[in-house]
């Protein structure tokens, strides 16, 4: 069995589904079910004995100790995090609590569990920490992509909190010998993505005939990674990664935000035409967010060179699958758009003037 934290969120749920399908190994899934955690993402595993769900927080040491003692996982994969930049600007405290204090508590619980294992189990145990490319800061237009040795230069409360968690994980390896692995991924997209992030927000708003808010000039560049490719990368790193190492995981798909929005509009024009006209008519440029990093780009050559992993999807194939999924799952979209979600969207965009 492995322990997955944050396994009801977007990437975590996709990973749990992928893990059970690909390996058949049981998963102990710990999630606090905050705004982006959704058990409906795991509905297909509801009666599957290979999936054990526990509602709880990684900052709860007593709960962690009990779960580790009862289930004795051979590995821990840590997805649990507050992860939305805009939310971190409006309320940074929650990001410090979960991403820094929670990671510390989890590391200490796992270290105690690891030390209690017999020699063989201790040697094979792994703690994999899932992080982000945002810890590296922002790149200029002609700068080379982020490599694992790039200095940390976080620019938002979210990325600063994730950078802190990365440093804790590194320190627990170098100080205590805990066999850790860290992955820093680029922007994920795909099924079950909470509709506050760019791609699902554009799809959902377009289908509802609402404005498609694009920050500033829309020329912020990101590398885009289909979530199922990310899941396969994590499985690869967990199986073959070198303890203490960091692996960048990217899709080799650098694109500006405005191009992403136009691609979504074009696919919706094809798959679900709007009698009122092309969806691109709904694009509205709004005031940029504070401290918005201009460009992220991932150099994922280490994971390819050392572990043999490359993404299976291009952006064109991945975005088509993503748009199709949202068109095919209107009930999921309707249920996830709770009153709290609508309140959040209103809070974030109400004060942004049209640019």
Number of domains in the chain: 1
Angle at the Cα of 293 from the Cα atoms of 289 and 296, rounded to 5 degrees: 140
Coil, strand, or helix at residue 256?
A: strand
- 272 domain residue, yes or no: no
Tell me whether residue 134 is one of the annotated catalytic residues. yes
How far apart CA 208 and CA 334 sit, in angstroms, is 11
Ramachandran bin of 252, using left for φ above 0, alpha for ψ from -120 to 50, beta for the remaining angles = left
Q: Which of 158, 192, 215, 226 is catalytic?
A: 158
Task: Name the one residue in this structure whose structure tokens are 């709880």.
Answer: 56
Contact (Cβ atoms closer than 8 angstroms) between residue 31 and residue 80: yes
- 317 domain residue, yes or no: no
Burial tier of 108 (Cβ tally within 10 Å: 0-12, 13-18, 19+): middle
pLDDT score for 288: 84
How far apart CA 209 and CA 330 sit, in angstroms, is 15
How far apart CA 51 and CA 28 sit, in angstroms, is 6
- 75 domain residue, yes or no: yes
- 329 domain residue, yes or no: no
Q: Which residues pair with 52 in a beta bridge?
A: 28
- 338 domain residue, yes or no: no
- 9 domain residue, yes or no: yes
Q: Positive or negative CA dihedral for 137, 37, 172, 121?
A: negative
Q: Which of 133, 196, 299, 313 is catalytic?
A: 133
- 47 domain residue, yes or no: yes
Tell me whether residue 158 is one of the annotated catalytic residues. yes
pLDDT score for 90: 87
Containing structural domain, residue 238 = 2-188+226-252+291-312
Which residues have CB under 8 Å from 10's CB, separation 6+?
36, 41, 188, 192, 193, 194, 227
What is the band of 260 on the pLDDT scale with cuts at 50, 70, 90? very high
pLDDT tens per residue across span 77-109: 999 998 777 788 889 999 999 999 999 999 999
Q: Which of 134, 196, 254, 293 is catalytic?
A: 134
For residue 74, the domain's CATH number is 3.40.50.720
- 162 domain residue, yes or no: yes
pLDDT tens per residue across span 329-350: 999 998 888 655 446 446 654 6
């Amino acid at each position: 069995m492995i322990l997955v934290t944050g396994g009801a969120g977007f990437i975590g749920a996709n990973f749990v589904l992928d893990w059970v399908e690909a390996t058949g190994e049981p998963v102990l899934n710990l999630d606090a079910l905050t705004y982006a955690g959704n058990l409906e993402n795991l509905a297909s595993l509801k009666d599957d004995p290979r999936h054990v769900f526990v509602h709880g927080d990684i900052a709860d040491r007593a709960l962690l100790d009990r779960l580790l003692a009862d289930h004795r996982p051979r590995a821990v994969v840590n997805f649990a995090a507050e992860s939305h930049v805009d939310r971190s600007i409006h309320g940074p405290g929650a990001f410090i609590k979960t991403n820094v204090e929670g990671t510390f508590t989890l590391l200490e619980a796992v270290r105690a569990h690891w030390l209690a294992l017999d020699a063989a189990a201790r040697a094979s145990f792994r703690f994999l920490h899932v992080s982000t490319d945002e810890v590296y800061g922002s790149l200029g237009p002609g700068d080379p992509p982020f490599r694992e040795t790039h200095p940390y230069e976080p620019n938002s409360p979210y990325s600063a909190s994730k950078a802190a968690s990365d440093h804790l994980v590194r320190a627990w390896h170098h100080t205590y010998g805990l066999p850790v692995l860290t992955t820093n991924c680029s922007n994920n997209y795909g099924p079950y993505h909470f509709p506050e992030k760019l791609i699902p927000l554009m799809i959902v708003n377009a289908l509802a005939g609402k404005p498609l808010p694009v920050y500033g000039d829309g020329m912020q560049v990101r590398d885009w990674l289909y979530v199922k490719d990310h899941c396969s990368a994590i499985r690869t790193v967990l199986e073959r990664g070198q303890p203490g190492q960091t692996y960048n995981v990217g899709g080799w798909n650098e694109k500006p935000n405005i191009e992403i929005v136009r691609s979504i509009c074009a696919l919706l024009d094809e798959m679900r035409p709007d009698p009122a006209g092309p969806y691109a008519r709904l694009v509205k440029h709004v005031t940029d967010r504070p401290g918005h990093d201009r460009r992220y780009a991932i150099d994922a050559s280490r994971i390819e060179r050392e572990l043999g992993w490359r993404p299976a999807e291009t952006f064109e194939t991945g975005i088509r699958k993503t748009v199709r999924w949202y068109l095919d799952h209107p009930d999921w979209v309707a249920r996830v758009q709770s009153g709290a979600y609508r309140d959040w969207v209103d809070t974030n965009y109400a004060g942004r003037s049209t640019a």
